[in-house]
């Protein structure tokens, strides 16, 4: 194992350790029942198959987003628009999916993914363009772009695109054939989890 790899792994584990330590301190300081809160945080996700499934399902988009951020960081471009890019890309994917309900599933899924990638990419392109043209710090502009996009998407989910009669902010459903197959029928864990694992290995 090369020295560079050892140093990288050491840095990763140190960062993880510091993150856990800070998180524990915050929980202890802010919670009225810190032991119960810590138990829920560390043990509850592994207490049942369903809870573990929910953890993995939630982890999937976060993992892919984190990998995307790591690529930009490796190029010394500090992009903080990841959350907004995911929101906007997913939202526009839904918009497209609702417009093409009768398309062949394979073509429809490709179209939805392409639109999501392009829209998310455009949002990331804006801070880059501002940096190249006027030297504006991309940390600020990318973070501001994300802060702007989130309430805009939420507005459409709660208003113009909300499913009639729905008790939560949600759109109409896209064709079920466009949805990635589930790995476990008991929860929403889908093939995207496998894709996330592959991306972790190749990134």
With beta carbons less than 8 A apart as the criterion, state whether 123 and 81 touch.
yes
With beta carbons less than 8 A apart as the criterion, state whether 81 and 124 touch.
yes
pLDDT at 158: 94
pLDDT at 112: 96
pLDDT at 5: 67
Question: Is it the case that residue 188 has pLDDT exceeding 90?
Answer: no
pLDDT at 178: 94
Nearest to 38 by CA among 21, 50, 52: 21
pLDDT at 167: 87
- In whole angstroms, what is the distance from residue 92 CA to residue 50 CA? 30
DSSP single-letter state for residue 190: B
Question: Is it the case that residue 1 has pLDDT exceeding 60?
Answer: no
pLDDT digits 0-9 by tens, 50-98: 899 999 999 999 999 999 888 888 888 888 999 999 999 999 999 999 9
pLDDT at 185: 75
Nearest to 40 by CA among 29, 49, 51: 51
The predicted model scores a pTM of 0.83
For the segment 113-136, the average pLDDT, to the nearest whole number, is 93
In the structure, what pLDDT confidence band is assigned to residue 195 with cuts at 50, 70 and 90? very high
User: What residues are paired with 182 via a beta bridge?
Assistant: 190
């Amino acid at each position: 194992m090369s020295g560079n790899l050892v140093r990288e792994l050491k840095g990763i584990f140190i960062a993880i350790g510091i993150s856990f330590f800070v998180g524990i301190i915050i929980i202890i300081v802010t919670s009225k029942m810190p032991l119960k809160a810590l138990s829920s945080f560390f043990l509850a996700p592994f207490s049942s198959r369903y809870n573990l499934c929910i953890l993995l399902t939630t982890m999937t988009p976060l993992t892919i987003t984190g990998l995307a951020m790591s690529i930009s960081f490796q190029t010394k471009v500090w992009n903080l628009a990841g959350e907004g890019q995911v929101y906007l890309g997913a939202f526009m994917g839904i918009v497209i999916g609702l417009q093409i309900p009768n398309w062949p599933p394979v073509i429809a899924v490709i179209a939805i993914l392409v639109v999501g990638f392009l829209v998310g990419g455009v949002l990331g392109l804006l801070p880059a363009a501002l940096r190249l043209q006027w030297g504006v710090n991309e940390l600020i502009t990318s973070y501001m772009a994300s802060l702007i996009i989130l309430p805009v998407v939420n507005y459409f989910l709660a208003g113009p695109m909300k499913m009639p009669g729905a008790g939560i902010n949600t759109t109409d459903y896209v064709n079920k054939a466009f949805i990635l197959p589930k790995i476990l029928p008991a929860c929403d864990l889908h093939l995207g989890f496998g894709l996330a694992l592959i991306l972790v290995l190749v990134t």
